[in-house]
Structure formats: C-alpha cells, structure tokens
Amino acid sequence: MSGVVPPAHCFTDAAAAQMERLVADFGRMYRERNDALQEVARAHHEALLRLARAAEFRDDDTGVHIVRMGWLAWALARELGMPESQALLLREAAPMHDVGKIGMPDAVLKKPGKLTPDERQVMNEHPRIGAEILGRSRIPLFQLAAEVALAHHERWDGSGYPSGLAGEAIPLSGRIVAVVDFFDALTMDRCYRKAFPDDVALEMLRAERGHAFDPRVVDAFLAAAPALLALRDRITRERPDLASLVASGP
C-alpha cells in the first residue's frame, strides 16, 4: 500500500546492518594495511641484514659473525633482565652494528698492521656511517640498529669513539653489543691474527671491566659464559641463515 511508512525498528535494523558492514570493511582494510606495513618492514630488515652481511664478508669470510652477534646480544640482554620484547628487538638490530664498514676502504679495513693516525680517523667514522644508513627511518628496529651502530665503540671510561660518551650515557644496547662484539671478534680468526682461546678471551674481557666496558654487563657475560659459549658454538656449527634472527626462539 503506497504511502505507508515502515516501522521505526526497520530503519534501526538497516542502520545497524550498514554500520556492521562498515566496521567489517574498516577492520579488513586495517588488517590489510598492517600486513602491508609488516611486509615492507620485513623487506627493509632483510635488505639491511644483507647489507650488513656484505660489510661483514669484507672482514670475515664466513659471514657467521653477524648471526652470532644477534643471538649472543639477545642472550646477554636476557641475563641482564631486559624484557623479552626488547631483547628480541636487540637480537634483530645487533647484526647491523658494523654496517658502516661498507664505506671503509680495503686498505684500512684489511690492513694487517697498526693503523696510522689518518687511517684510524677513517676507521673511526664507520659508526657514524652505519648510523646514517640505518637512522633515516621511523621503524623502531632501524632506530635501535642505528643506536647500536653509533654506540658500540664507545667506552665506559669515555675514551671510545665517535662521541667520547662515558658510563651510562652510552645506551645499554651499545654497551651489550660492545661486550659481545669484543669477545666474539677475539675468538675468531682475522686477516691479521689467529683466534684467541676462549679462556684467554674471557680474561681479556675481565681486564677491560670498568675501562672499555660496563662492569655490570661484563659480570653478566662472565657469569653466563658457559651458556653463551654453548650458544655461540651451536650457531657456528649449524650456520643458520639470516632468517633465524627473526625466529621466535633459539
């Protein structure tokens, strides 16, 4: 019958159904947006890790050092009581600590003897180069990686580079990676020397407690040394690929 107005509840039901469709559409769009952003972040992460590996291959022909760096930094961070979410982020960021070496000339990077003052000045720029490569991003992972790259050659006593930071002015991420990098580098063959035995490297680390390195971080490393060395040996033996750094567990 023409001119009959539908009951009010019909409008209410139609509006509710339309609202449900809109909410569902917005929810789907939001999930698709997040999935796309996560895929972009993963692609950026993989690209930067491969750049880090390219830099590492210039200094270590196995390339496994950067994978060990990630897992050991994660394990040491957990020993220090860092929340798991932050430790996992550090696991992904730590391998990019030396990405700035991609900008170092071979004559400096691979020189078997002592660097001249000019060569040392060139070498000391690689943290800034790394931070510049990594820091032009709003993604938290890359911001942390830039922080690590810039800070991991600072020393507890203020005599490090590039900024001469001292004590707790050095970000904790940089203090953790500095200890892990020092020990792992000592116990691997380099172009200019053979690897030091583990016990010698541990004593060398202990000797730098309070000088190069945060005493609390060194103490945590030494206390957990058996577990950390076992993890290192497992990584070296199994040679996991870069994808292991974004896995859910060791």
Residue 114 is which amino acid?
K
Token readout for 181 is: 């990098």
Where in the chain are the domains? 8-246
In whole angstroms, what is the distance from residue 184 CA to residue 234 CA? 14
The pair of three-digit structure tokens given for residue 220, joined into one six-digit string? 């945590």
Of 209, 177, 197, nearest to 98 (Cα)? 177
Query: Digits of tens for pLDDT over the chain (250 positions)?
Result: 555 555 555 557 676 677 777 777 666 776 666 666 566 666 666 766 777 766 666 655 546 888 899 999 999 999 999 999 999 999 989 998 988 888 888 888 878 778 899 999 999 999 999 999 888 778 888 899 999 999 999 999 999 999 999 999 999 999 999 999 999 999 987 766 788 999 999 999 999 999 999 999 999 999 999 999 999 999 988 877 666 665 444 4
Per CATH, the homologous superfamily of domain 8-246 is Hypothetical protein af1432 (1.10.3210.10)
pLDDT at 248: 43
**CA dist., res. 51 & res. 54, Å (int):** 5
Omega cis (within 30) before 162? yes
> What are the beta bridge partners of residue 190?
193
Helix (H, G, I), strand (E, B) or coil at 231: helix
Which tokens belong to 108?
Answer: 């400096």
Question: What is the distance between the alpha carbons of residues 95 and 148, in angstroms, rounded to a whole number?
Answer: 9
| Long-range contacts of the stretch 218-221 (C-beta < 8 A, 24+) | 218/179, 220/76, 220/79, 220/80, 221/76, 221/79, 221/179, 221/180, 221/183
- Output the pTM of the full model: 0.79
Name the 3-class secondary structure at 7.
coil
Residues 6 or more apart from 102 whose CB is under 8 A from it?
A: 51, 54, 55, 58, 129, 133
In whole angstroms, what is the distance from residue 200 CA to residue 147 CA? 30
